[in-house]
Structure 1
Amino acid sequence: MSQYLYLVRHGEHLDAEHGVSDGPLSPRGRRQAELLAARLGGVPLTNAWYAPSRSATETAQILSGLLPAVDPKPSALLFDCVPSGMTPDTPKAFESWFAAVTPAEVEAGRAQMADAISEFFVPGGHDRHDLLITHNFVIAWFVRHAMDAPNWRWLGLNQSHCGLTVIRVRPGRPPVLVAHNDLAHLPFELRTGLPETSPV
């Protein structure tokens, strides 16, 4: 039997273009969430969780309002975090970015993501379709894990606001990346969130 993880980055929040890390959804972010709900309308979602940040919470509220069968629950394991630090094989282009990250932040992020993998990558005896509304780095770490890539490889794996990533998990087999940052449900003007200058 298979478990499908539908990983979604929250909708765009107000002042996101100015580097603000969280806040209420912008009108564009609300529309992104509405279109994502339409995209997921035919998926037999089994469970749903969201990061307790404001942007992810409001995204979850929009989805549950448009998908009555979805009853999302908060999970602190889905908060944004830095899941690893510089390693000997990390490209030097990322050194300046990591200069602003403390060892305590890296350790907390590493522990959080280890718990998140144990919590959410759990295929059982029947098919499951689980929705996780979270943040960019969390999805990047899940994709890195699915591909069994080096720890640093979450860097540069970016997701747009309300982009859809799907991972299939089966007992005794490696995870399969079914789709990454799928934006088919969003018109061009709503495809926001990818960095333009940062190496991350």
Structure 2
Amino acid sequence: MLPRLLLLLCCLLLTAPACAAEAPATRTIILVRHGDYRADPAADKKLGPHLAPIGVAQAHLVGARLAALPNHFDAMYVSPVQRARDTAAVIAGDFPGRHFEVVGDLEECMPPTRRKEVTVDEKPADLAACKQQFDRLFAQYFKPAHGHPQTDLMVCHGNVIRNMVVRALGVDSAAWLEMSVENASITKILVEADGRFKVISVGDVGHIPPSLRTGATGDIERSLAIPVLP
């Protein structure tokens, strides 16, 4: 009997590391909206324009805020769109030696919404394709980690962030337009080890002075240009 117990104990000890490596763990996802930008007819039609000067300033502020967090980012992702890549490039200055991975499904698009007047000029096929894109993004990245708690950073867009929030809340995914997030804001979503979601914050801009905030519904137009002296 004793040899059998010893054998069982040895088997348990040998497989324990493998089990621990596969055990589900919490995943924290930090989503940052890109900084402010302005339309540019000369910009690449797919990638869009670069950040405006105020957007660069916002990116520096959010980079400093992220660097001060106690979390270590296990993965850093960015949308392929230029304004998001510019924002990530500025943030990267606060994380020497780290690399952002470009994720195509973080690209901005227009998914279905309750606000039909907003999508009146959109093609149904494009709305459906955007929903499928966000379906893939949520399924691939918004799930428990393995082996140890993980924190991921995603630099992307307002539509992406709002859609991920309503999905995490388990409400109608077409309700995303009922919220607004500012440029360079921080949204934090926790995925528990058992797959449950906790939305910790949405559109946090505590790191940006009110005079530099842009991008949310009702925000006034701001720039870093020198005003005319009265």
**Fold shared per TM-score above 0.5:** yes
**TM-superposed deviation, 1:193:** 0.1
**TM-superposed deviation, 1:29:** 0.5
Q: Distance in 1 between matches of 2:98 and 2:143?
A: 20
- Establish whether residue 48 from structure 1 lines up as the match of residue 72 from structure 2: no
Question: What secondary structure, in the 3-state scheme, does the structure 1 residue paired with 2:152 have?
Answer: strand
Segment drifting more, 47-56 vs 67-76:
67-76
Paired residue type of 2:49 = G
**TM-superposed deviation, 1:165:** 0.3
Q: Match of 1:115? A: 136
Structure 1 segments (4+ residues) deviating >4 Å: none
Paired residue type of 2:192 = R
- Establish whether residue 32 from structure 1 lines up as the match of residue 58 from structure 2: yes
Q: Match of 1:74? A: 102
2:166 and 2:176 in contact (8 A); partners too: yes
Question: What secondary structure, in the 3-state scheme, does the structure 2 residue paired with 1:110 have?
Answer: helix
2:143 and 2:195 in contact (8 A); partners too: no
Structure 1 residues not aligned, in runs of 5+: none
RMSD: 1.9
Q: TM-score, normalised by structure 2?
A: 0.76
**TM-superposed deviation, 1:122:** 2.4
Q: Percent identity?
A: 27
Larger radius of gyration: 2
Q: Match of 1:4? A: 28
Question: What secondary structure, in the 3-state scheme, does the structure 2 residue paired with 1:146 have?
Answer: helix
1:13 and 1:22 in contact (8 A); partners too: no
Structure 2 residues not aligned, in runs of 5+: 1-24, 220-230
Q: Distance in 1 between matches of 2:153 and 2:173?
A: 24
**TM-superposed deviation, 1:196:** 3.0
**TM-superposed deviation, 1:3:** 0.6
Q: Match of 1:152? A: 174
Q: TM-score, normalised by structure 1?
A: 0.87
Q: How many residues align?
A: 187
Q: Distance in 2 between matches of 1:120 and 1:74?
A: 13
Question: What secondary structure, in the 3-state scheme, does the structure 1 residue paired with 2:208 have?
Answer: coil
Q: Match of 2:149? A: 127
Q: Structure with the greater relative contact order (CA < 8 A, sep ≥ 6): 1 or 2? A: 1
